[in-house]
Amino acid sequence: MSLSDEDYWARLAYETKHVKSEEPSFKPEKGDIRKWRGFILGTECYDGGVFEIEIEIPRRFPFAPPLVQWHTEIWHPNIYKGKVCVGILGKDWAPSNSIVDVIETLRILLAAPNPLDPLNTSAGNQMENDLERFKKTVKDYIGRYATWEKLQR
């Protein structure tokens, strides 16, 4: 199932209005409202981290979820090599979900990683078995990859 071209572009215009209100800002890449790039600020053990995210809206949207690419290296059970494992980007997607819902879900994923369903099994095992070492590894990754200074290069 997909929307007509007119309805697809109307939905993208609606999404654009709401995504632009997200802080720090998400912006269309090269003016193309089908592809957004922005930053999510870390919370909890990811506090102090700045993570660059890309969201691409496929032609089947809203009947198919957006595609998310995580550009900043991170030590996280549910994020690995640019891929993100969270239900809203797969089996839990619903046409009523929005791009802002996806961004909020990614923020929540930073605050509450799920080590029981890991994409990065090493991070998941470490979080489950040695939480203090996990937090130290997270901070090390933030210092090496996820600061404003690192992202400006």
Domain ranges of the chain: 5-151
Does pTM top 0.75 for this prediction?
A: yes
List 41, 67, 85, 151, catalytic entry: 85
Per residue in 10-61, pLDDT (tens digit) is: 888 888 877 777 655 788 899 899 999 999 999 999 999 999 999 999 999 9
Q: Specify whether domain 5-151 bears CATH 3.10.110.10.
A: yes
Strands 50-56 and 79-80, sheet pairing: unpaired
pLDDT for 27 equals 87
Flag whether pLDDT at 151 surpasses 90: no
Per residue in 78-97, pLDDT (tens digit) is: 999 999 999 999 999 999 99
Residue 45 known to be catalytic? no
